[in-house]
Structure 1
Amino acid sequence: MSLFPTYNRFPLTLVSGEGTTVTDDQGKTYLDFVSGIAVCNLGHRPPEVHQAIEEQLSRLWHVSNLYHIPVQEEAADLLTEHTDLDRVFFCNSGAEANEAAIKLARKHTGKEKIVTFEKSFHGRTFATMSATGQEKIHQGFGSLLPTFEYLPFNDVDAITDLEGEEVAAIMVEVIQGEGGVVPATQEFLTAVQNKCKDTGALLIIDEVQTGIGRTGTPFAYQMHGLDPDIITTAKGLGSGFPVGAMLGKEELSTSFSAGSHGSTFGGNPLAATAVKATLHTIFKPSFLTEVQEKGHFFKKLLKECTSDVSGVKSVRGIGMMIGIEVDGKALDIVHRLREKGLLAVVAGPSVIRLLPPLNVKEEELKQAVRIMGDVLQSEYKELKQFG
């Protein structure tokens, strides 16, 4: 094999998918509650996105950002209309969006220090790896960028005690995804925002995993009444087409003038078309209301299903972003779930992460809970059968 061994792959080759269901090269079907790690928010091959991309494919693929791209401007308008931000920079991934946010914060404030949090995850480029508060991401790469400081997550006292005069920005996830599906408290997020306002630091919210309807709102920060200066997004933004975006307030635009930053492929006609078609569906109020309702329903079923299992410590999360913390290795359970026809992923060593498509059917949620019940019953021997 000619690939670098950068991934611990599951023994699985998927060859087709539609909606929440995928099929492997042996003809076995699965419920996909990974969704490409919160990417396929409308499931696999959503018809409205598929059709839009096919039509664009027949006209124009790429022209570079040297020229006006009308569909890119339309996609940007959809993002600003559904947020408290005014300007959009398109790129290709969440890491690139976070790179852009870091650069913009430093350039605009004239300061270098950026505060992030323990167990955070912001990407694997050199700057975003340095921003990530996880030692396992840092190992083997030598000295990191020295301008990042990590504070404990959900620790209000740590924010209160922060000397913020030299801080360009505080960068936070509303729900730590890779860090274990851990929601931030309202008190903590309010303290972060107040510290930014008091010191002149910018508030950057990393919405790469939580954004685009995953929590039942366009972006997760909106559940908490926050007023960010910058947000970043990717994953679900293009329904599987590689695209990311950084959004910022109007006053920041002077610090990202022509030539200050760029991306060859960012927001090209194909990517922007995928964004536009995706957002037209997900940002409908009725669609988001359904996500909230199904999220409550799913978490309720999972809590009922695991209530008598000593090996399950908690079921947590918001909307269609759920974590189940267990005793032992979560990966062992994820393997068994796959054998039973349910795809899940881990978030750290002890958390099973479930990220179903936002338009998952209620019966598919029930089916997933039944599979989860069977596997956990076998694993821990104490689960009442879920009916």
Structure 2
Amino acid sequence: MTTNSLNQAVSADLRERHAAAFMPNYGVPPVALVRGEGAYVWDQAGTRYLDLIAGIAVSSLGHGHPALAEAVSRQVSTIAHTSNLFVNEPEVLLAERLLGLLGAPGKVFLANSGTEANECALKLVLKYGRATGRGYIVAAENGFHGRTLGALSLTGKASIRDQFGPFPVDVRFVPYGDADALKQAVTGECSAVFLEPTQGEAGVVPPPAGYMRTAREICDATGALLVLDEIQSAIGRTGHWFAHQHDGIVPDVLTLAKGLGGGMPIGACVGFGDAGTLFAKGDHGSTFGGNPVSSAAALAVLDTIDRDGLLARARACGELLAGGVAAVDHPLISGVRGRGLWLAAVLTAPVAAQVQDAAQRAGFLVNAVQPDAVRLAPPLIVTEDQIGSFVAALPAILAEVTP
């Protein structure tokens, strides 16, 4: 048996063991990854892939970044866990750093994931609603805020939501981007509006110009809290630290995760102004939230983005990637949506899964986020040459796909 055949057999064996050991909610992933370096990853067969999805917009600094490795190694050898019964310096430094980047007075709660950050935001909203006599929440159709029961109650996707209802929270859904529908739905009895600055799992769908500012104005007029879910869009992904900064607004509550930890599990909920002091002692908690290792990782991510000018790189490389994909002359390409290094190649037919498979065979990892949309969210350290290699390969990738 050749070395390559042996490696392929090992990979197949690992996938079979995965199928035998894990619940079937993910199916069996098609590739077993064993290592990464920069924007590249390798599978067990030794095949190299350009990673254009970055663990679903998580691996901000790519793979094996020395700043992240050093920060995590140093911290785990010092103290790896304290719980919320004690203070650790990395969590305090991280909260201070986030508030500084946001440029508005607020308070931070650290969690372990985006779903947990949204659960925190939901509890803030429920407490606010009961204190002010408000009941229902407004969220967007096709929005995604997580899969735990609280977060799922805010998620406007019937395919993943309906089988787990009914939900204890009264959430009313409106079409995303429809300012008139939002205005009609939000009254003085509404406690909050939950929105993504761009809908991620719906296919990287941006709102019309001015929509986020209008949402801010509607909430100001009615007294509802504006909660922005930036689980995917923050930490430089769109070329700003936070996507809402493109619109010049400040939410009442902001949720973060994914790219903040660069691969380590972390989430954050930030309450601005009065929303930051809604919780009393004992109202919420997390054993692992504020973990010093994850906090140290997040600080390394923020420091590296700042030091290496990765916000500007996200803008420049995002324009290069979007322009390159849009310029591909192929009947399957309809256009490109998104901003910075958070994009979707929009297709003219529901063949995104086939495009994903063809790209994998060509050495590129992309994500069929919707049947007609392929998500592209490479690490912020991706280079112009790497983007160029994907754009150059895209016509041949599309040629393999049958509409």
Give the TM bin, normalised by the shorter chain. over 0.9
Tell me which residue corresponds to 2:168.
145
Residues 179-188 or 39-48, more deviating: 179-188
Is residue 310–residue 380 contact of structure 1 (8 Å, CA) maintained in 2?
A: no
Residues 275-284 or 350-359, more deviating: 275-284
Tell me which residue corresponds to 2:151.
128
The counterpart of 1:309, out of the listed 314, 322, 330, is 330
Q: 1:85 to 1:377 in 2, by over 3 A?
A: farther
Does residue 300 of structure 1 match 2:323? yes
The counterpart of 2:280, out of the listed 257, 279, 291, is 257
Provide the secondary structure at the position in 2 that maps to 1:267.
coil
Q: Output aligned runs, 1:73-152, within 5 Å.
A: 73-83=92-102, 84-110=104-130, 111-152=134-175
Tell me which residue corresponds to 2:249.
226
Please list every run of 5 or more consecutive structure 1 residues that lacks an aligned counterpart in the other structure: 382-387
Provide the secondary structure at the position in 1 that maps to 2:138.
strand
Tell me which residue corresponds to 2:390.
368
**CA shift at 1:108, angstroms?**
2.3
Number of residue pairs aligned between Structure 1 and Structure 2: 379
**CA shift at 1:328, angstroms?**
2.4
Letter matched to residue 328 of structure 1: P
Does residue 13 of structure 1 match 2:35? no
Q: 1:142 to 1:230 in 2, by over 3 A?
A: closer
Does residue 166 of structure 1 match 2:189? yes
Provide the secondary structure at the position in 1 that maps to 2:25.
coil
The superposition leaves residues 200-233 of structure 1 with CA deviations (integer Å, 9 ceiling, x where unpaired) of 0011110000011000000000001112111100
Does residue 72 of structure 1 match 2:91? yes
**CA shift at 1:28, angstroms?**
0.5
**CA shift at 1:271, angstroms?**
1.1
The counterpart of 2:53, out of the listed 15, 18, 34, is 34
Alignment partners' CA distance in 1, 2:22 and 2:176: 36
**CA shift at 1:85, angstroms?**
4.7
The counterpart of 2:180, out of the listed 123, 148, 157, is 157
Larger helix proportion, structure 1 or 2? Answer: 2
Provide the secondary structure at the position in 2 that maps to 1:375.
helix
Is residue 342–residue 371 contact of structure 1 (8 Å, CA) maintained in 2?
A: no
Residues 96-105 or 309-318, more deviating: 309-318
Provide the secondary structure at the position in 1 that maps to 2:240.
coil
**CA shift at 1:309, angstroms?**
2.0
Alignment partners' CA distance in 1, 2:372 and 2:276: 42
Provide the secondary structure at the position in 1 that maps to 2:301.
helix
Q: 1:210 to 1:161 in 2, by over 3 A?
A: same
Q: Output aligned runs, 1:321-360, within 5 Å.
A: 321-326=342-347, 327-360=349-382
Alignment partners' CA distance in 2, 1:185 and 1:353: 20
Alignment partners' CA distance in 2, 1:284 and 1:173: 28
Q: 1:332 to 1:145 in 2, by over 3 A?
A: farther
Provide the secondary structure at the position in 1 that maps to 2:263.
coil
**CA shift at 1:286, angstroms?**
2.9
Report percent identity of matched pairs: 37
Q: 1:135 to 1:341 in 2, by over 3 A?
A: same
Alignment partners' CA distance in 2, 1:223 and 1:292: 12
Tell me which residue corresponds to 1:247.
270
Please list every run of 5 or more consecutive structure 2 residues that lacks an aligned counterpart in the other structure: 1-19
Alignment partners' CA distance in 1, 2:165 and 2:173: 18
Alignment partners' CA distance in 2, 1:92 and 1:301: 36
With structure 1 as the length reference, what TM-score do the two structures score?
0.95
Tell me which residue corresponds to 1:187.
210
